[in-house]
Amino acid sequence: MKRQMQAISVEVDDGEGMVVLTQQVNDLNEPDPQIYLSPEQTPLVAAWLYAAAGEAIAQSEPLDSESIPVRYFARGPDADSENLQVFCNAQGMVVLKIDDDSFIEIAPAMAKRLREKLSIAIRESIGDMLRPDSEA
């Protein structure tokens, strides 16, 4: 399995079972730099990358301090748990449908802001999940 993007690729070394990160620099006099990770190191490095990405986004975008305006229609606090459906209605609003009586209607621009905040929360939760136990 080999994955590649702009100037970096990730693959598994068949001989040793190591994960190899390669940065393409296109220097004729020097080989491309490579980082070898053992399978045990990979989750820790992934957690570091997720944490760094979350910090970079938090520093570059002040969206966390802004609220996301939504309209919420519900039966009350005693509602049963329901399956969430997401679609665009005839007015062009993004609708998060909880059930026939409960839904949230969000403007597309605010839905995009919500998606960004959800992405940050997902990265943080995955980073916590991949973090090794301190007692191990």
Structure confidence at residue 72 (pLDDT): 62
Reduce the DSSP state of residue 117 to 3 states and report it. Answer: helix
Residue type present at position 100: D
Global pTM exceeds 0.85: no
Span 33-73, pLDDT tens digits: 999 999 899 888 888 887 787 777 767 655 444 556 666 66
Structure confidence at residue 63 (pLDDT): 46
Span 75-131, pLDDT tens digits: 666 656 667 788 888 888 898 887 777 788 888 888 888 888 888 888 888 776 776
Where are the extended beta strands (E) located within 13-67? 19-23, 34-37
Residues with Cβ within 8 Å of residue 67, at least 6 apart in sequence: none
Domain residues of the chain, as ranges? Answer: 1-39, 47-65+111-136, 70-106
